[in-house]
Amino acid sequence: MTLLSVNVNKIAVLRNSRGGLLPDVAAAAQTCVAAGARGITVHPRPDQRHIRPDDTRVLGAWCAGRVEFNIEGNAFAPARGSYPGLLALVAETRPTQCTLVPDGDAQITSDHGFDLRADAARLQPLIAELKAHGCRVSLFVDADVQDIERAREIGADRVEIYTGPYAEAFARGDFQRELEACAGTADRARACGLGINAGHDLNQANLPALKAAVPQLAEVSIGHALICEALYAGLSTTVAAYVKLLA
């Protein structure tokens, strides 16, 4: 069974747009878990546009011993204001998994994976430091990434396949090539001992084909589409639908 980790960033976006404490990010996470999600994902950024460091601490404490807690982020981004940096947040909250993503402030959302040929040397000491805090490390990679074996060589436990291009192709109705790229990367990752995660723009329409093509999927992280669907169907109902689909 593929684990569903719900990214609650969009709940924080809604809260921040108004100020105050509502909607409550922790309450939303608890609702997702009660409906069957087995993980919660956050992606704190230095500009604190959605999830904030305090949210990360609260969610990390609540998830401990209940479900997996996954922190995504750019470990190379320096501390800024009350944002202490990704490594410091991991040291404080001890997540189950840290997913390293090469994003910057100018990006609205993550839109590419690591170049393992160029980035391996500087990633290796960061991965070692993260694993010293007891968490699994996953690297965000493109579906056509080269040298996937380097991820294993530098200490990563998993890769998360960036499924944005697949989702766009699925919406156009011409997705076989992108789906095969995801499946091929998953096969190469598995062959060298890496676990496989996937995420970005996955929804109830395009997830079944991906799951069939990549049956070894360990985890999918879904936020934006799930929250959009929940506006119409309700959060508990939507999470339960994803859990059923993944089972």
Which helix (H) or strand (E) segment holds residue 222: the answer is strand 217-222
Catalytic residue selected from 43, 160, 178, 219: 43
Tokens of 48: 């604190």
Cβ–Cβ < 8 Å for 73, 56? no
Active site residue 50: no
Catalytic residue selected from 50, 72, 219, 229: 72
Phi, psi for residue 221 in degrees, rounded to 5: -110, 120
Q: Which of these, 210, 118, 222, lies nearest to 166 by C-alpha position? A: 210
Cβ–Cβ < 8 Å for 192, 152? yes
Cβ–Cβ < 8 Å for 70, 38? no
Catalytic residue selected from 50, 200, 219, 229: 200
Active site residue 168: no
Q: Which of these, 197, 209, 184, lies nearest to 140 by C-alpha position? A: 197
Tokens of 195: 């676990």
Cβ–Cβ < 8 Å for 156, 125? no
Three-class secondary structure of residue 142 per DSSP: coil
Active site residue 200: yes
The catalytic site residues sit at 43, 72, 200
